Structure formats: structure tokens, C-alpha cells
Amino acid sequence: MRIGVTYDLRADYLAMGYSPEETAEFDSEITIAAICEALEGLGHEPVRIGGIRKLAERLVAGERWDGVFNFCEGLKGVAREAQVPALLEAYDIPYVFSDPLTLALTLDKGMAKRVVRDAGVPTADFAVIERIEDAAKVALPYPLFLKPVAEGSGKGVGDRSKVGDAAALRAVAADLLARFAQPVLAETFLPGREFTVGIIGTGEDAEVLGVSEIVPKDKFVGAGYGFENKETGWEEKVDIVCARGPEAAAAGKVAFAAWRALRCRDGGRIDIRCDANGAPHFIEVNPLAGLRPKHSDLCLIADDAGHSYQDLIGLIMAAFFKRHPELKARGRAAA
């Protein structure tokens, strides 16, 4: 089956002059090559496409694929992750991972927290600061944790993110508003263990693949798993270990409930943090989770569960094909 692969290659954007932080969500050549190799190993014909502009050019030129492995993060706007799937839907081309509604919703951490909270999923109390004057209106007990409302890969999270008073809240909020030109999420700080939960599947067919714990080391920066901890010398700053036991199981249940509430599809990852009593709370979801072999959290979770990289891509594709039985039938007919 001919499967297009959409992606944003980090090296391309670095060459255009974008900074390491601006390109943190984009992918390496190692990742894209691994995805294509896995798809080929599963019996498909992977076709590299690239980002949304290249996708648009090829669609207008008349090129089509049986399906698309959509791995595009997008560059501009709060709905940037939704742009490629929306375009594919306009051309009636099925694609892997979540739909435009879910991708736009989950990129906005405040909106996602409202939805999961309404669904009864525990999440820390929060406020959204859209302009600096809003900082004075935040009526939550300190300490608080601040981050941009619509960034990934720990962007905007650092050694100043945890604030203990109104002056620090205003200063950090002002800095984030200026740097990222988007609202700031202020949450009640959760001091407990931090987990990341891998999930495969859609709706009632979804299941927890595994749970990892983020364990800070001596050189860990700040009070959150932010950009500096993820990007530079992460091996000296954090351990990512397979997590088992009652608290990890509880984290998996909360993550699963959030996955269902947000209508995520095929595969991804949800971050969970516990309060002082060990109760897990939803932090955020990554419906386009990193897939760099032996590096990305979802890949490490799959390794711990005994799955090879090709197995992981196969599980994701199986979930996609379950949503599109017509493609499986077409594949059998072609064979």
C-alpha cells in the first residue's frame, strides 16, 4: 500500500535561521528514515512528502496516496498541527493519528484541560493569562507553575517556571507573553511523581502501552521536564524509567480517560503528575508523540513493553486500518 509521509524536518528550519528552541518540535532525519523503513518492513511503499506546502503542491499536481502517515507539527498558529489533516480531509485522503479538531484542541493546554475537567478527569486548578493585566486576577494558591499555552517539547519551561508569589508570577508571565506571543497557563504546582503514558488505539479499542516515570537527577533544571532538560545533555539531567505499581497504574487510568475524552486516535502519549498525596492529574497530551528510535518517550515505553520499533509503527498502523477497513480490503485485493 502506498503511504505518504508528512513531516517537518528540523534541519530544514535550522537552515532557514530558526533557533534550536523554535525548531524543538520538529523531526530529525533519523526519525523520518526510521518511520519509512518500518513502513517498508510492514509491506507498504512509503513516499516522503514533507511539510504542508510540499503536500499542497503535490495534491494540486494530482498526486494521491492510499493513506498518509501524518507527522507534521506545523510552524505557524495555534492550529498548526491541524493544518495537514484538514487539507487531507479536503482531498478525502485517510491519515494516521488524530483529526483536526483534536489536534487544535490539544495544542491549547488550557482548552484541553477544560475538556478533560468537564469529563471528570482530574487536572490541576489553572488560570489562563492572555495579557499581563490578567496576572493580578489569578486567585490560586502558591506555588504555581507557568508555561506557554500552546507549545510542545518543553518550550518555555525552565528554572523560573515555578513561582512562589505575585511578583514572580507577573515577571515570568510577562517574559513568556513577550517571547511566545501567546497566552500563558498558570497551574497549581503538583509536587509529586511525574509519569508519561503511552497509548495505542482509538476509542474503546485504545489501551495503555506502558508507563514511564520522569526521575530528576542532580543536574535537572527547575521543577519541570522542560526544554533544557530535554534538549541538552538530558542523560545527565533525567532518568526515564519503566514505572510499575499502584501509582503508575493509577496514572495510566487517568491518562486513558483523558485520551478518550479528547478523542485521540491511533497512538500518542499523555503526561501525568501527582499531587502531594500521590493522586495523578492530567498535565497535557501529545497526540503526535515523538518517534525517534531509542530516544523518544513513546519509543522507550514500547521498548520496555518488549516491542521493536517496527512493532510500534505496526501497532499504530493497525489502529489506523481498524478505523479504515476499506483500506485493508483494498490491500488484500491488490495482493
CB burial of residue 120 (10 Å; 0-12, 13-18, 19+): exposed
Q: Which fold has domain 2-98?
A: Rossmann fold (3.40.50)
Q: What is the pLDDT of residues 269-325, one digit of tens each?
A: 999 999 999 999 999 999 999 999 998 999 999 999 999 999 999 999 999 999 999
Single pTM value for the model: 0.93
Domains of the chain by residue range: 2-98, 125-188, 194-322
Does position 334 have pLDDT exceeding 60, yes or no?
A: no
Alpha carbon distance 156, 138 (integer Å): 20
CATH number for the region 194-322 comes to 3.30.470.20
Residues of 288-308 as b/e, b for ≥16 C-beta within 10 angstroms? bbbbbbeebbbbbbbbbbebe
Q: What is the pLDDT of residues 134-172, one digit of tens each?
A: 999 999 999 999 999 999 868 888 889 999 999 999 999
CATH number for the region 125-188 comes to 3.30.1490.20
Question: What pLDDT does residue 22 have?
Answer: 81
Does position 217 have pLDDT exceeding 90, yes or no?
A: no
Question: What pLDDT does residue 335 have?
Answer: 47
% of the chain with per-residue pLDDT over 70: 94
Alpha carbon distance 83, 297 (integer Å): 25
Alpha carbon distance 181, 72 (integer Å): 22
